[in-house]
Every structure is written in C-alpha cells, then in structure tokens.
Structure 1
Amino acid sequence: MRFMMIVKATDDSESGKMPTEAQLAEMGKYNEELVNAGVLLDGNGLLGSSTGVRVQFTGKGQTTVVDGPFTETKELVAGYWIIDVKSKDEAIEWAKRVPFVDGEIEVRKVAEAEDFGDSFTPELQEAEEELRQRVERQQNK
C-alpha cells in the first residue's frame, strides 16, 4: 500500500526560512532509513506558497489563476514523502519517526485501482497502466 506523508506548512516554511545544516543532516538520516527499509518511493520539500499559484475551476474550461502567497498556512503543504508499506499502522509508525520538533504530518493512502470500484473498468485500467509505463520510460532516459 502506498501512503503519502504530507508535511504541513508552518510560518517558518511559508516565510522562506530554510532548515539549518543540522536539520538537513537529521532529515537526510531519516530519508536514508526509509531508503534502507525499501519503503521510500519519492519525497521532496516545497518552497513557500509565495512561489506558487492556484488554478481555480468554475465550470468546464473556465479557469482563474491566483498568485500566492496564500493566507491559511495551516492548510498548506510544505513537503511530502510517498512510501510503500504493508499497512496504515506502518505508515503511521514511519510518520512518528520524522525528526521534527514542531509541526504536523498528515498520512493519507494513495488511491489504488480497487479503491475506485466498478467505475474503473478494465479498459480504463489498461490505459492507465500504459500511461504509467510511458512515464517510467521517460524517467529512465
């Protein structure tokens, strides 16, 4: 099962304050533990929302682009890990080990084919798998 561990933004992350060398080293050790355990699929930090935009949809083909920063810091994402583990409990245990003094990690299951029920027909699953294979080939170039 894949889970995303979502790092919630803080006032520091939103202000652009970067981690110290010691904090980066500690995070590097944690990431190495994930790699050594064979569970890490991806993970990255994100810059503050002042560097981003939101694309809002208000009808088919109707979009509005809103520049950051965004005001509700507690609702923003500052980074993430995607891990592949056996259970939600195991994902929670990994989240508990994140070397933060303050902050919050949200743990959410990544949707798998079976989570979509009958709507995700064999034809749609086959098309999705082809897209995933194309992405993998592009990444391996």
Structure 2
Amino acid sequence: MRFMVFVRSPKPLAALYRDALLRAGVLLDAGDLVPHACGVSGYWLIDVRDQEEAVERVRRIPLPACVVEIREVAVV
C-alpha cells in the first residue's frame, strides 16, 4: 500500500529525514513544498504493508514541533 506523508514544520525536514526511509527500502519519492504562512511543508511517498507500518515508520523519525498527516494513495 502506498501512503503520502505530509509534514508541516518551522523548517524544511522532509529532505533531512528521507534517508532513514530510503535505507528501509520504502521510500518512493520525497520533497519540500513551497513555504507558506504556516511554515514549511514537505512530503514522503512510501510503500508499506499497511497503515500501521506507515505510522510506525513515521514515529521512528524525530519530528519536533511538526504536524504530520498520513493519507493512503489510491493505486489504479
């Protein structure tokens, strides 16, 4: 299953922590989005067994003062 993980933080973090997901072999894509009034956003596109694994992998990454959203991506 594929999941899009959005991270909103005061500074760019998506590029910093993508290495852990890359080493685990679950990262498909990552990047930072255009900054806006709420801070900086970034994303990871990961391929894992289920939502529980997606949540567990994100919990292992130190993301201080961040808002994280995990959404399943429909694969057609």
Same fold (TM over 0.5): yes
Q: After superposition, where does 1:28-47 map in structure 2 within 5 Å?
A: 28=16, 30-47=17-34
CA distance in 2 between partners of 1:80 and 1:34 (Å): 12
Q: After superposition, where does 1:35-74 map in structure 2 within 5 Å?
A: 35-49=22-36, 73=38
Q: CA deviation at 1:82?
A: 0.2
Amino acid corresponding to residue 65 of structure 2 in structure 1? D
Identify the residue that residue 81 of structure 1 maps to in structure 2: 44
Higher share of residues assigned helix: 1
Q: Assess if the C-alpha contact under 8 Å between 1:6 and 1:77 holds in 2.
A: no
Identify which of 99, 102, 112 aligns with 2:65: 102
Q: Larger RCO: Structure 1 or Structure 2 (Cα < 8 Å, ≥ 6 residues apart)?
A: 2
Q: Assess if the C-alpha contact under 8 Å between 2:32 and 2:42 holds in 1.
A: yes
Give the ranges of 4+ consecutive aligned residues of structure 1 lying more than 3 Å apart after TM superposition: none
Which shows bigger deviation, 98-107 or 79-88?
Answer: 98-107
Identify the residue that residue 53 of structure 2 maps to in structure 1: 90
Higher share of residues assigned strand: 2
| 3-state DSSP of counterpart to 2:61 | coil
CA-based RMSD of the aligned residues comes to 2.6
Normalising by structure 1, we get a TM-score of: 0.46
Normalising by structure 2, we get a TM-score of: 0.79
Segments of structure 1 that go 5 or more residues without pairing to the other structure are: 13-17, 50-70, 114-141
Segments of structure 2 that go 5 or more residues without pairing to the other structure are: none
Matched residues, percent identical? 41
| 3-state DSSP of counterpart to 2:28 | strand
